[in-house]
Chain A
Amino acid sequence: MIKRSHFKSNGLAYLLITPQVLVTLAFFYWPAIQGLLQSLMLSDPFGRRSQFVWFENFVRIFTDILYLKSVGITLFFSLAVAFTSIIFGMTLGCLANRALRAKALIRTLLIWPYAVAPAISGILWLFLLHPAYGVVAYFLKNVVGMDWNPLLNGNDALFLVVIASAWKQVSYNFVFFMAGLQAIPHSLIEAAAIDGAGPLRRFWVITFPLLSPTIFFLTVMNIIYAFFETFGVIHAVTQGGPGGATNTLVYKVYQDGFVGLNMGASAAQSLVLMALIITVTVLQFRFVERRVQYTT
């Protein structure tokens, strides 16, 4: 049963939600509508000339092979970041949950990287993996004998930005997995142990299914993160190169809009991004709501 509060008249209720509505209108709807209008226009940055061109900006981006390639790169990149950070977050969560000593310390240390700004994390990884001055890169080239060069090799570059972006998200996921694991009744696991199930089997049959709402929630959150917040990493590490191999959608919006001052094109791209993310969010609500019991 969902609880309902009843007000005698609706007036007070409306009054109470007014501030929130105003904030949403001013900081979400107003800019979104501006963006929508901008995407239908060609205009110079200073706002002197603008002409209404209907969907020309959209036609232009969707007939651009490189834009479509960038959509593909973004999807791959987001999935790779989400997958990597969830796997590591879950593994660390499970391990830390079983830690016998200094549990709080271990937890704190594992949450730490979340406080690092994406651009800084990008730079840190670049220092490790830059072909000219990276320590790990030196090791890869001279000891392992690998031809590591993210400046020229698109796959190397993509790998580098995925690692740098996923790294700090591991902490975020870790927190949620810790919480999720603590909500799993011990009796279930003990019962399984008595029935002779080994640790791996207990994980797959009990822990993993009970974590599934957490996993799904995190998948969505991580994909949103990878879509929007990895800009700093890419800007610091590859600038979208080599040859566009790490040019994600949000980086392209920045390049075209902020640096290139091409307002119409970048507004159209932002709308496409917004549509993509709304789709993902709708999917989340459809899917998660079916599995999660909000009230018992």
Chain B
Amino acid sequence: MKGKRGSTFIAVMLAMVLLAGQSFAEPITIEWWHAMRGARGETLDKMVKAFNDSQTEYKVVATNKGDYGEVVNAGVAAYRAKKHPHILMSFEVGTMTMMLSGAIYPVYQLMADQGFKIDWSSYLQAVLSYYVDEKNNLLSMPFNSSTAVMYYNVDLFKKAGLDMPSKTVPLTWEQMAEITKKLVAAGAKKGLVTTWQSWIQIENYSAMHDIPFASKANGYEGLDCELMINNPKVVGHLERLKSWMADGRFSYEGREYQGPNAAFVAGDAAIMMESVSGIGNVNKNAKFAWDIAPLPVEADMKQPQNSIIGGASLWVMKGHPKEHYKGVAAFMNFLAQTDMQELWHMETGYFPITTKAYESLKTKGFFDKIPYQEVGIKQLNRTVPNKNSRGIRLGYFVQIRNILDEEMELIWNGSKTAQQAMADAVKRGNDKLREFEKTNK
């Protein structure tokens, strides 16, 4: 009896030693928390699998932690408990919070430290520029980037006897006035609808018309910035939309995308301004011919600036063993490879982040087959991003967007004039900015 027990003990010890020996050869696990679900999540998993299969040193484990807000919250809680992942996805409006968190390892530094010499100029600049610091160094790796474009119902356009808009030259708002008038006269229930009103009608509008959204280069150059959206152009634009509500040329369908999308795919609204990431949804649900054109601009804007992106980027978090970061850098580098970027764009509609991937898709004739997929990229790439168009970097930006949504709704329901609403939005937004500034001093 005793001898048997002894031999079991030895066997267990041996097994443990062997297993321990094994674990040295096991790949290092790299945790990635993200917000991609459904079809996007599946594509993401394909990319992760490709990386894991391509080498044996590292194993990336991607976990969906809910929507954007939930992912950032999970990251914050985990960081406080020192159980955070290596890579955390954050939406573009959370850039400022992540940047100042003290919890991140800037991507440009990571790549340099790990010996990856990356030619950042070969990336799509309008995508990168949202995530750079004031010295133009990349802080987080762009992952899913989109921009806003104009979807239109081809059948309703034909019915109204209208020419189809160009895919590269934007319509002017004067033309839009005529077009929507004709559409409504020809029986369209609603002329124009818009998703994400703050992002499209104020943030993108300002960028394309080269007007600052906030001082200090849209907040890139200092926390002491102030909102500047109560300018005549933005106010005039909102006033115009409000005046179009009287005869159905513009209709408000809600803050996010569900309402406007429903109105568009039902054939009620002839034009919808929406992110390119909505292509899949429209494709699936619209029972009519439709197409995409760039967002309209004012007639005096001969050379409109690029539109700005929405979406999310990948932040590398501090506090892991040094050897892990080699794997993180290798993974970031892998994601930026042309074949991965092509896969990502073709399956999700989000932009490729390198010009090489874009060119490659072009040569393969992808855009000849699906020309509307290229409208957004062209709009994003039509100029070199400048201080007004590279992005917006504000503290408490989520709340500021909320304020804008509220104030815009007060314009639409006639409680306030556009002038008053934007003046109030600036005042309320600046209070938030000051609070953020004080917190982060």
Contact = CB atoms under 8 A, between A and B. Distances in A.
Contacts, number: 95
B136 interface: no
A42 B439 contact: yes
Interface string A139-155: 00000000000011110
16 contacts: A42-B435, A44-B97, A45-B97, A46-B79, A47-B80, A60-B435, A131-B253, A132-B253, A132-B259, A152-B409, A153-B413, A239-B405, A244-B406, A259-B399, A260-B402, A261-B97
Contact of A241 (B97, B262, B409): B409
A42 B396 CA distance: 13
Given A151-B254, A152-B252, A259 B398 contact: yes
Contact of B402 (A45, A242, A255): A255
Nearest to A43: B439
Contacts of A8: none
B399 A42 contact: no
Given A151-B259, A244-B406, A255-B399, A46 B80 contact: yes
B414 to A, nearest CB: 9
Interface in A45-84: 45-49, 51, 60, 66
B412 A262 contact: no
Among A47, A255, A260, which residue has the most Cβ atoms of chain B within 10 A?
Answer: A260
B201 to A, nearest CB: 16
A243 B76 contact: no
Nearest to B436: A262
B268 interface: yes
B168 interface: no
Contacts of A132: 253, 259, 262-263, 266, 268
Contacts of B406: 240-244
Interface of B: 69, 72-73, 76, 79-80, 94, 97, 100-103, 252-256, 259, 262-263, 266, 268, 396, 398-399, 402, 405-407, 409-410, 412-413, 415, 428, 435, 438-441
Nearest to A256: B399
B262 A133 contact: yes
Contacts of B438: 42
The 8 closest A-B pairs by CB, nearest first: A242-B409, A243-B410, A48-B102, A46-B101, A243-B409, A152-B413, A260-B399, A42-B439
Given A132-B266, A243-B415, A255-B402, A44 B100 contact: yes
A7 to B, nearest CB: 41
Contacts of A118: none
Given A132-B263, A244-B406, A262-B435, A239 B255 contact: yes
Given A241-B406, A259-B69, A261-B72, A44 B398 contact: no
A240 B94 CA distance: 21
B410 A44 contact: no
- For chain A, the bracket of interface size reads 20 to 34
Contacts of B101: 44-46, 48
A44 B409 contact: no
Contacts of A112: none
A170 interface: no
A29 interface: no
A262 B399 contact: yes
A46 B76 contact: yes
A265 B406 CA distance: 19
B103 A46 contact: yes
Nearest to A244: B406
A42 B438 CA distance: 8
Contacts of A265: 435
Nearest to A261: B97
Contacts of A260: 396, 398-399, 402
Given A46-B101, A46-B102, A265-B435, A242 B413 contact: yes
A38 to B, nearest CB: 12
Nearest to B98: A46
B103 A130 contact: no
Contacts of A66: 428
A255 B403 CA distance: 11
Nearest to A245: B409
Among B80, B407, B439, which residue has the most Cβ atoms of chain A within 10 A?
Answer: B439
Given A239-B255, A242-B413, A262 B396 contact: yes
A64 to B, nearest CB: 8
Contacts of B413: 152-154, 242-243
A43 B100 CA distance: 12
A258 B80 contact: no
A242 B405 CA distance: 8
A261 B402 CA distance: 13
Contacts of A49: 439-441
A242 B407 CA distance: 9
Contacts of A153: 413
Contacts of A255: 399, 402
A128 B409 CA distance: 22
